[in-house]
A and B are shown apart, each in its own frame.
Chain A
Amino acid sequence: MADHPANSSVARWRVVVHDDPVNLMPYVALALRRVLGCDETEARRHVRAVCEQGCAPVGVECRENAEAQVLALQRWHLTASMEPDETA
């Protein structure tokens, strides 16, 4: 039986950004570039996915890093959450 992500030392967590009716798309892209360290093309791809789907994963990390990224995204006033990555 697979470990629950919360109990596994190698557990991976998805960082998810949620759409909101207020933040501008270029602003969200800039926030993603600053927090995730991705380039403009990838940031725009994430923004499009968030807008089209309502929310979208922007990365997969260990729990500690995922928490840090969610908090950093909230520092930019984006709505973000994390969930176990069960694809591995």
Chain B
Amino acid sequence: MKRLSVKLNLTAAAPLLDIVKAAADGLCDRPAVPLCPDVIEEDLREILLEELLHGQRSDLARFLSLFDHDFFSDGTVVFHESNAEPILRACAAVRLHLWSRYLKELTPEQWSSESADPAGLDPAVQSPQLCFFFLTSLQELILAHLTGAAPVGEGEVSF
């Protein structure tokens, strides 16, 4: 994957980072997807769970490190070969967390990015839903570049 520079709308994206950080805190000691109960002998379970959590925390830290001083000066984040997959996984973890905590009760219409009207939602759900869509857009952009389906260079996310 070639280096991909993405310009985000600072005003829209910055408030969503609080949601991402809160989700990352919530994912510190629990996996985004529960450990499969059939796998692993009981005595190894704790060790493997901790390995899983370590990987999850590392991916989330990598993702949050995108939003540094440079981001707050010009709204740009950069993806490249070594951070793309950890960031994809971090986005997946946060999206799963937001869905299970805030969004799973929404109707399909409220869920759909095409027809969603955040203004009509419970305020407690509006920001998580916007954050969910923001992370979806980031994932789609990175995946398009990883699979060669998008032009190399710069990208833009409408957040």
Interface pair A70/B39, CB less than 8 Å apart: yes
Contact of B147 among A21, A26, A70 (CB under 8 A): A26
Chain A, Cβ-Cβ closest to B41: A67
Interface pair A22/B89, CB less than 8 Å apart: no
Q: C-beta contact mask, A51-88 vs B, less than 8 Å → 1, else 0?
A: 00000000000000001001100111111111100000
16 intermolecular pairs with C-beta atoms under 8 Å apart: A22-B92, A22-B95, A26-B143, A30-B85, A30-B143, A70-B39, A71-B48, A74-B31, A74-B36, A76-B89, A77-B31, A77-B33, A78-B33, A80-B36, A82-B36, A82-B38
B110 within 8 A of A: no
Contact of B96 among A26, A77, A80 (CB under 8 A): A77
Q: Closest CB of chain B to A41's CB: distance in Å? A: 13
Q: C-beta contact mask, B44-56 vs A, less than 8 Å → 1, else 0?
A: 0000100110011
A23 within 8 A of B: yes
A34 within 8 A of B: yes
Task: Report the bound CA distance from A78 to B93 in whole Å.
Answer: 10
Interface pair A74/B88, CB less than 8 Å apart: no
Chain A, Cβ-Cβ closest to B104: A21
Q: Which 3 A-B pairs have the closest CB atoms?
A: A77-B92, A26-B143, A77-B32
Interface pair B33/A24, CB less than 8 Å apart: no
Task: Report the bound CA distance from A78 to B92 in whole Å.
Answer: 9
Report how many residues on chain A are interfacial, defined by Cβ distance under 8 Å.
23
Q: Please, which residues of chain B bring their CB within 8 A of the CB of A76?
A: 89, 92
Tell me which of A21, A70, A77 has the highest count of chain B C-beta atoms within 10 A of its own C-beta: A77
Interface pair A22/B96, CB less than 8 Å apart: yes
Interface pair B89/A23, CB less than 8 Å apart: no
Among B67-88, those with CB < 8 Å from A are 85, 88
- Given that A70-B36, A71-B48, A74-B52 are contacting pairs, would A27 and B143 also be in contact in the complex, using a CB cutoff of 8 Å? yes
Contact of A23 among B35, B39, B51, B92 (CB under 8 A): B92
Known contacts A22-B99, A26-B147, A27-B92; 10 further A-B pairs (Cβ under 8 A): A21-B104, A23-B92, A26-B143, A30-B147, A70-B36, A70-B39, A71-B48, A71-B51, A77-B33, A82-B39
